[in-house]
Amino acid sequence: MTKAVVYKLEHDKKGKIVALHYYDWNKVSHRVEAETFVLAANAIETPKILFMSADDMFPNGLGNNNDQLGRHLMDHPSNSATFYVDEPIWPGRGPMSPSSIQQLRDGAFRSEHAAFRIDLSNSSRVASVTAAAIKEGLTGKALDDAIRYRASHELSIKNVLEQLPDPNNRVMLSKTKKDALGLPVPSFSYSFDDYVERGMQASLAVYAEMASMLGATDVRYSAPGSYSNNQHITGTLAMGTDPKTSVTDHVGRAWDFSNLYMASTGVMPTVATANSTLTASALSLRTADAILGKI
């Protein structure tokens, strides 16, 4: 159903969800009853809906008896390095991410620093190097030569760092800000520790080794000393075997409600170093099998 913003779940006294409430874009509220409910509104909005459903019986939000909902928020902190290699490689043909170095994701070092992978980008450099060369004031043959050399020799590599689940990294409801429908927007507490920073330093050493092997010149870092995000939002609906330390069981069913399931990257209790969507899709298929009684 389009233009429908779910803002509340309604429950009975026996541990079942009985209805959901949504606003249409005119802020008219609608109520929908069902046998089974699947929250699949992303790892930020799903906990938000459950927080907004708080009432006298569940003052901290639904599915939050053990104060785990919205906690352990993770992403993949990241940065990149770009340089010219010593022979033409002409990136821009074929898939965007043709290869990735995965061997750095596991080993005894994980007791010391974050695991990571390194991606090699195959995006075309033509537009960005042309804009830079024009900005530098190059014209005529010098401009032509610069575009040809840089577009064929420039390589960008990127790390993707594992972040550990930390209960203090969390999604909450804003106490002050509301959206256009009058619903609280999410607010966040989020940081990462030295474990990630040490992983970053280890990955920078790998960047340097790669650059050296490729005869690199003009090595540039995306944002020295800072991190980018990767939109791999995980952890806030963590699945597990113990209700005290998780939000859902192993098939994504809320511990406190027998007919409420969650399908999202949020159910992943750790983020590891791989992009999260395929894992979440596989977990969602398992959730569907559980709802259908196949497992």
The piece of 1-9, 61-69, 173-181, 249-257 that touches ligand FAD (CB under 6 A) is 1-9
Our CB check for ligand FAD shows the closer of 196 and 267 to be 267
Our CB check for ligand FAD shows the closer of 65 and 100 to be 100
Count of residues binding ligand FAD (CB under 6 A)?
17
229 binds ligand FAD (CB under 6 A): no
Our CB check for ligand FAD shows the closer of 229 and 258 to be 229
Backbone Cα Rg of the chain: 23
Q: Tell me 151's DSSP state.
A: H
Distance of alpha carbon 117 from alpha carbon 266, whole angstroms: 21
The piece of 37-45, 115-123, 153-161, 194-202 that touches ligand FAD (CB under 6 A) is 37-45
43 binds ligand FAD (CB under 6 A): yes
- Helical segments of the chain, H only: 42-52, 126-135, 140-153, 194-213, 277-291
Our CB check for ligand FAD shows the closer of 150 and 158 to be 158
Contacts of 8 (CB under 8 A, 6+ apart): 20, 21, 49, 52, 53
143 binds ligand FAD (CB under 6 A): no
How far CA 150 is from CA of 67, 95, 158, 234, 235, in Å, comes to 53, 20, 19, 37, 41
159 binds ligand FAD (CB under 6 A): no
123 binds ligand FAD (CB under 6 A): no
231 binds ligand FAD (CB under 6 A): yes
- Angle (CA) 9-15-21 rounded to 5° is 10
Query: Nearest to residue 70, comparing CAs of 233, 190, 185, 237?
Result: 237
Q: Which of 18, 19, 40, 143 binds ligand FAD (CB under 6 A)?
A: 40
260 binds ligand FAD (CB under 6 A): no
Residue 4 C-beta: closest distance to ligand FAD, Å: 6
Q: Tell me 124's DSSP state.
A: -
Residue 6 C-beta: closest distance to ligand FAD, Å: 4
264 binds ligand FAD (CB under 6 A): yes
Active-site residue identified among 11, 72, 232, 250? 232
Distance of alpha carbon 73 from alpha carbon 238, whole angstroms: 9
Contact 106, 145 (CB under 8 A): no
Contact 114, 273 (CB under 8 A): no
Question: Known catalytic residue: 232?
Answer: yes
Residue 98 C-beta: closest distance to ligand FAD, Å: 14
Supply the residues annotated as catalytic: 232
Q: Name the site residues for ligand FAD (rule: CB under 6 A).
A: 4-6, 40-43, 45, 49, 231-232, 264-265, 275-277, 280
